Structure 1
Amino acid sequence: MTLLAVGINYQTAPVSVRERLSFPADVLQPSLQELHNLKEISEAAILSTCNRTEFYCAASTTNQQILIDWVAQNKHLDSHDLTPYLYSHTGPALIRHIFRVASGLDSMILGEPQILGQMKTAYQAACDAGTLGKHLGKLFQHTFTAAKKVRTDTAIGSSPVSVAFAAVQLAQQIFDKLSEQTALLIGAGETIELTARHLSQQGIGRLIIANRTFDKAHALATQFNGYAIDLSELPNHLAEADIVISSTASSLPILGKGRVESALKKRKHKPMFMVDLAVPRDIEAEVEQLRDVYLYTVDDLQHTIDQNMNSRRLAAAQAEEIIDTQVDYFLAWLRAQGAQSTLRDFRLSAETIRDEALQKAQLALKNGASAEETLNRLAHTLTNKLIHTPSSQIRIAAENERHDLVAAAREIFKLSDTQ
């Protein structure tokens, strides 16, 4: 049995290739079962995210081409066109890889936590499809343990490394309770969506999303129980906002000093926290001069992000040490599986000898033999039969000068040295 993995990720393939190899939830189960039906594959799981697709298998071969050909056929691609974008791992390298992926060490954003949840989803999908067995099942369980230990024992996920997260964290430092605040987000792109998600997770009281295209604002606001407005309505709602975060592609500022000053008057100079994540700026620099405004730009946050990324890199070095240890633990488990059939056969042989000796003892008692005599004979018979084969094999090993086997026998049976 060989553990085998093939995959692509954001480092090896552009999004145009990655999207062709994605496995949405509605096709995942039949695809897993189809992969599992290959005669060389005994266990299978598929991890599919926007940044990577990976196939994990327990196989009777180390030939990765079998897996590549199946992927190409499933996605109606030429395997030769696919190969340049792929990477593969077997054995210890695979174990290390999956541990690193689940711990966020192989992610676009170092230490990001979402991948662990995606890995658990892949595990559950394989369970539901009936394509997991002892080896892959154990590998996933050990993967979750390794990732949890990395999260618990290092600071790899404790510092924000996206401007959206950093902005929300800064808002939390300024306001005691986000649940009592109103946030106004300007824009509807990826950064604003991520900001909305973080604010929602932190329990923001009210969320307003303004965008030049109302339908985009409405679609985003609906996801987070927010309220959508057209950008032209901004002057009417600005005074409601305790938090303003803007990220648009506008070439000119959207908020000027005069408009913010008017909003502050309506608010009776209740402070406003403003973050401009756009380049070029959405908020005029002069707004910073207003007494009741706390204005931060993307550059202000970038310093924090750079510091936090350095912290994550230091934590990643600790995480690699943890993973080294966890890989050794799993390899030890794998090696132990190789002895299972031997242990099973050894136990079966001993139980057969026991049953035969016990049957003779019971017959002797039935025929009137004394209990003491029967017990002595049973003990003598069991001892002789249990040590006969090992004794014979040790003698043969010594005659053939197989001193390694004699030494192994002493270790296995824990025999103390005698003079």
Structure 2
Amino acid sequence: MPTPVRDALEKALAGINDSASDGRVTFTKVYTERARAEADAADQRAKAGVRLSPLDGWVISIKDLFDVAGETTTAGSSILRGHAPALADAPTVARLRRAGTVIVGKTNMSEFAFSGIGINPHFGTPGNAADKSRVPGGSSAGAGVSVAEGTSRMGLGSDTGGSIRIPAALNGCVGFKPTENRIPKDGAFPLSYALDSIGPLARSVADCAATDAVLANEEPWTLTPAPLNGLRLAIPRGRLFSQMEPEVERGFDGSVARLTKAGALVSDISIEDLLQELADAMAKAPFVAIEAAAIHADWLEDRARDFDPRVLARIRVGAKAGAADYIRLVNKRKELILRMRDRLADVDALILPTTPIRAPKIFDLISSDDQFWAANGLVLRNTTVGNIFDFCGISIPCPQTKGLPVGFMMTALAGQDRRLLRMAAAVEAAFKS
């Protein structure tokens, strides 16, 4: 007999209370009574043999940048606390409600989604699910913790430079970043108009695939793993493999060995020239910082003291760029995307560590700007490539790693989302065998 949804919800609520009392601050808002009503409704549907979708009855969380009707969306900031409440649910939230999910609460995040670390000076920092003294990864920090600790079956997140895949990797769950234009972004407070993607963190590739279909407003589909035998996987050796912790290297190499044994065709590929041209193009300011400066222009200076200083510093870098700089960068990005598509024409997916390091200590990064910026740059380095080059991507936990989780990332060209999910399902099965 399946566990009644109300029982699953009460277990989640108890876990949220335990986590809060332990100082994790995983959730910024909990919908206790509404969630109980939704859970009871799901149980009644189940008794009647009615199922709204494959997600019906799932206890889920949503990142605190998605609009919920009647509530102010804070996006992890103190600046937005006084803003007008949302008039309607974000389309993604509305689709999840229609699918019969039980939304238990809103999860904590990096302020304005602008950090891969997950530290938040306004609401507190969720401790990593594997070790509460360590960072959760960002910016979908609470989403990753909520899934990994079991208070949500799925956490709705956003990914601009790795904000789904990083917390998935550091907490030991699965995180799927779809192609940028696949899921509507209305009602989600933006970080970058061009790079933001909306997607799920969950316990399995199958749960990510089921959620993706609902978010994309598509019919449910059967996730059949792709054959591993003959799958063409390429490793982009070079700068994306520098400064890697030995534990991450061992976890990645062990994962590759399993796939090779299963018949996957693994080879090295060089994309160093494209990455260097990208670095040169963004030498003055990163793409995301320029767009963030436009988004925050109305309060960037008037409310400067209310920002997380580290977020403010990154936005100010973007504010120094001019219109000509931005236009040149937009055009260069288009060119690089086309050249990357040609480069990967004979490859099914790129594979690499999601992050070259495991979760650092919260105290160390709060105490030292140098350590924070070094760690932030490293955790974002590999994942950001997927956003800039318009990939879809997924992070899966590496098997048999000791201690802290390590993420294994697969990334494919834009529009190959379902194909990537099928490949990821096969890889996940190989990792568990």
Q: TM-score, normalised by structure 2?
A: 0.23
Greater share of residues in helix? 1
Higher RCO by CA contacts (8 Å cutoff, separation 6 or greater) = 2
User: Which of 1 and 2 has greater Rg?
Assistant: 1
